[in-house]
Every structure is written in C-alpha cells, then in structure tokens.
C-alpha cells in the first residue's frame, strides 16, 4: 500500500545536491479543501478535473503536485465558531498529469501511476516532473499550465472539495466532471474536458492542495492566514486572475500589475484568532515550503464577542506559531471597517459598529497595538493597514463610496473594494518579493 509521503519527508528540507535550493511552493494557486461531498454512487465514483495553474516569479527545475486528506469546516454557533481541521471520512486514489504547451505528461507517486491519499494526510506529494519531459531546460517563471487530476472512490465514500459552487466569473478551460467505473480516462488528453467517454459536469470544484518545486533562484512564496476577508467572501469565487477571489488572491496573482506569486491561501471564512491557535496544525505544515506569511485574523473575533485583550494575546501566539519552518518574514494586516447601513451607498447612511468608530476600543485600538509590535515582537516583521484606501478621508470609520458600492453587508469588501485593496497590496507584494529575491 502506498502511504502519505509526509512520513518519508518528515524533518527533511528537500535540500538538493550541488547547493541548489530546497523544495518550496512554486504554484500560484494553493487552496484548502473546505467541504466534504455526499457519498458517491456507481454513477460518480470517478472524478476528473482540469485546473489552471501558473508558476511563480522564478524559473523552476522540477514540479511536484501535492494533495491532502483533510478539510477545514465552517465556523458556526453550533461548533463554537471553530474552523476545525477535519480528517476526511476515507482515503482516496489519485492520478495526476501536467498539461503544458499542448503536451500532457503524467506525474507518478513513488513510481506508480496511482497514489493513495490517506484520510487525515497533511501532505501527499508526487514524484518530481522534470522540464526535460517537455523539451525544456526549466519551467519558465510565470508560465501557464494545467493540472489534470483523476480520483477514484468506492461506493459510499466521500470526496473533498475546495468549494461547492463553480468559479464566478468562470475560469475558461477549467472544469470538473464525474463518471462511472467504465468512463474513459481523460487524464492524458490535452484541452478542455467534455462529456465524451461517459462523463457529466459537476458544480463542485476540487483542486490540488499545492504545486511544489525547486526554483532556479530564490523565489518569493507566501502563506495567507486569516478569516472571511482574506478568504475572499463577497468577491465571487476564483483564483485572482479572473477578477474575483478576494484582495489577497487578486494581489498575489497580479504582483505589481504583471507578476504572479507562489502562494498558499490557507485562510478560512469565519475563522477567529482563537480558533486558529487551536485548530491549525495541519495547515501549518506548509510553513516548511513558504518564506513569507501574511496574517489577517481578528475581525471574526470581534463579531463573535471575543475581547480585544484576549485577541491581542492570540495575535502574538499566531505570530510565534507562524514564524516557523522556512518563514523569514511575517506581516499582519489591519482590521477593516465595519458599518451598518440599509444600502452602503452614502457616508451619511453608514453607522460604524461599536468599537469600530474613530478612536474606538476595537479597531483603532487593535490596529495601533499591532503596529506597535513591529520590532517589539521579534516574530512580527511588518504591519499593513489598507484603511486609507478602504475609507473616506473625512470619515475614517466608514467605507468609501466614491468607487461604487463598497460592501453589501458592512463587513466584507465587494468586488470594487477588493480590487482597490488588491491594487495597493500588489505594490506592497512587489516590495516584499524584491527584498527577498533581488
């Protein structure tokens, strides 16, 4: 039986011979599983996907496709607002291939065409795929490619999904299909998926957990932690390249307007700092494969009645927990505005929520405390406050309305606001990238 490669790689930094760089995240689209699907039947026990990928800001000398065996559940009143990391109900068999420049090459798992991802596996990594298989010396920086995947379940088992709805706007060429045991494999095809061969399209999206590789030179790679705003709630569903996905996905997919950064989006909608401190061990395994952390917890803590004093302690705990592995730089993002309104179309029609008014005991006090910790707390290297781009200069506790409707609920940035935040953040990402790589 083939098991999770995490055990084989435990304690290893993937150092390569000849002084080359260690293994790290090199793809721009590392994503969580957030839901477990319904039990499969004979009609959908095989599931195929074709997902859009890009390489980060440096050439890469090998690629590996990674999966996992857990998901991060919703935070609800019933579970105490806890985004728990939950082991999958069952293991699953996986096959994968990389499609680049109209050529598709299979990746293997310990030399086999099919791997087994165990329930609860923190990380399951393929064998390396070399650029020579495509007639290349390296995979070029910011190269576009597709990952084709096929997983196999038994009747009654459940599959893990990144999301239970299609991307919006649609990502052209990306699709997910289901079929029976007799459906014709599409793994080694090129081009988009179709119903040919006994397949049916599904609305759920499932993706590789990460694309790892060996960069030819130092490559910026970030892990994003946080709550609903970092997760992109209220800004469609996507990868940041399709004008949706939230300000973090957008910024990291458009660094300085023209670069794509390697990243893992490990934030979860509804997650409090309190929840993360106690329920993040599996996700934090990926700190071995990134060099930057962008952290944004805190807004949900306010929403569920946590005190700022307790949240300060948890922020410090998070910084300590996440300045680990290969991470050399960690930054915390400021609390965003929160207002009540009937339409959020005017300043006059908005009322800041208690503690989020100018000089209030939550937002301003919390942001000021975090800013003061830079340098004082050795785990915190920077503090990013996008407030001047989110709010009106005459009312720093209200969402600005000059660009269009900034939010539909007073908490989560709508598309126009997410884009504005991303544009500013993308310039900052370029500063971080240049400081690390150049």
For the chain, domains (ranges, CATH) are 18-210 (no CATH), 220-437 (3.40.50.1110)
Give the whole-angstrom CA distance, residue 418 versus residue 248: 9
Q: pLDDT, tens digit, for every residue of 303-321?
A: 999 999 999 999 999 999 9
Can you give the pLDDT at residue 9? 35
Can you give the pLDDT at residue 79? 86
Give the β-pairing of 46-54 and 329-333: unpaired
Can you give the pLDDT at residue 19? 55
User: Which residue is associated with the tokens 């939010």?
Assistant: 407
Can you give the pLDDT at residue 391? 98
- Residue ranges with strand state E in 101-188: 103-107, 115-117, 124-125, 144-152, 160-161, 175-179
**Whole-prediction pTM:** 0.95
Tell me phi and psi for residue 310, to 5 degrees.
-65, -35
Give the whole-angstrom CA distance, residue 149 versus residue 302: 40
- Residue ranges with strand state E in 14-113: 24-25, 30-31, 35-36, 46-54, 60-67, 70-72, 85-87, 92-100, 103-107
List, in order, residues 6 or more apart from 262 with CB less than 8 Å away.
24, 25, 26, 27, 28, 55, 56, 57, 219, 220, 221, 222, 290
**Chunked mean pLDDT (size 10), the chain, 438 residues:** 34 46 98 97 98 98 99 90 96 99 98 99 99 98 98 98 89 96 97 96 95 99 98 94 96 94 98 97 99 98 97 99 98 99 98 98 99 98 98 98 98 98 98 97
Q: pLDDT, tens digit, for every residue of 67-117?
A: 999 999 998 888 888 999 999 999 999 999 999 999 999 999 999 999 999
Residue 410's SS3 state is coil
Can you give the pLDDT at residue 15? 44
Q: Which of 176, 297, 175 is nearest to 248 (CA)?
A: 297
The answer for 378, left when phi > 0, alpha when psi is -120 to 50, beta otherwise, is alpha
CB 126 within 8 A of CB 96: yes
């Amino acid at each position: 039986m083939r098991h999770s490669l995490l055990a084989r790689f435990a304690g290893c930094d993937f150092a390569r011979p000849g002084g080359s760089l260690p293994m790290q995240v090199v793809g721009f689209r590392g994503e969580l599983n957030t839901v477990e699907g319904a039990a499969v039947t004979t009609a959908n026990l095989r599931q195929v996907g074709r997902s859009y990928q890009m390489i980060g800001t440096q050439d890469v000398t090998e690629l590996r496709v990674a999966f996992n065996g857990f998901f991060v559940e919703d935070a609800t009143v019933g579970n105490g607002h806890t985004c728990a990391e939950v082991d999958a109900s069952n293991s699953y068999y996986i096959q994968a291939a990389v499609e680049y420049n109209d050529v598709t090459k299979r990746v293997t798992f310990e030399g086999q065409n099919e791997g087994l991802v165990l329930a609860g596996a923190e990380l399951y990594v393929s064998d390396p795929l070399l650029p020579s298989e495509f007639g290349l010396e390296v995979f070029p920086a910011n190269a576009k490619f597709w990952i084709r995947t096929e997983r196999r379940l038994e009747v009654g088992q459940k599959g893990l999904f990144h999301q239970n709805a299609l991307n919006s706007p649609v990502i052209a060429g990306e699709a997910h299909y289901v079929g029976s045991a007799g459906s014709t494999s599409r793994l080694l095809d090129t081009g988009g998926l179709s119903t040919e061969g006994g397949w049916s399209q599904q609305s759920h999206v499932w993706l590789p957990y990460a694309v790892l590789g060996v960069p030819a030179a130092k490559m910026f790679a970030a892990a994003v932690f946080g709550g609903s705003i970092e997760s992109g709630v209220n800004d469609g569903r996507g990868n940041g390249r399709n004008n949706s996905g939230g300000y973090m996905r957008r910024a990291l997919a458009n660094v300085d307007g023209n670069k794509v950064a390697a990243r893992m989006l490990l934030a979860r909608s509804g997650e409090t700092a309190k929840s993360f401190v106690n329920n993040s061990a599996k996700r934090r395994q990926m700190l071995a494969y990134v060099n930057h952390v962008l952290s944004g917890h805190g807004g949900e803590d306010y929403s569920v009645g946590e005190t700022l004093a307790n949240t300060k302690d948890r922020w410090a705990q998070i910084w300590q927990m996440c300045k680990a592995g290969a991470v050399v730089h960690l930054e915390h993002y400021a609390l965003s505005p929160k207002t009540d309104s009937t339409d959020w179309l005017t300043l006059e029609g908005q009322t800041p929520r208690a503690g989020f008014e100018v000089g209030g005991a939550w937002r301003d006090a919390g942001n000021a405390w975090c800013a003061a910790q830079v340098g004082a707390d050795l785990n915190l290297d920077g503090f990013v406050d996008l407030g001047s781009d989110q709010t009106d200069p005459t009312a720093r506790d209200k969402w600005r309305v000059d660009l269009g409707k900034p939010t539909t609920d007073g908490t989560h940035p709508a598309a126009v606001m997410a884009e504005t935040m991303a544009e500013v953040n993308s310039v900052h990402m370029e500063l971080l990238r240049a400081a690390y790589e150049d």
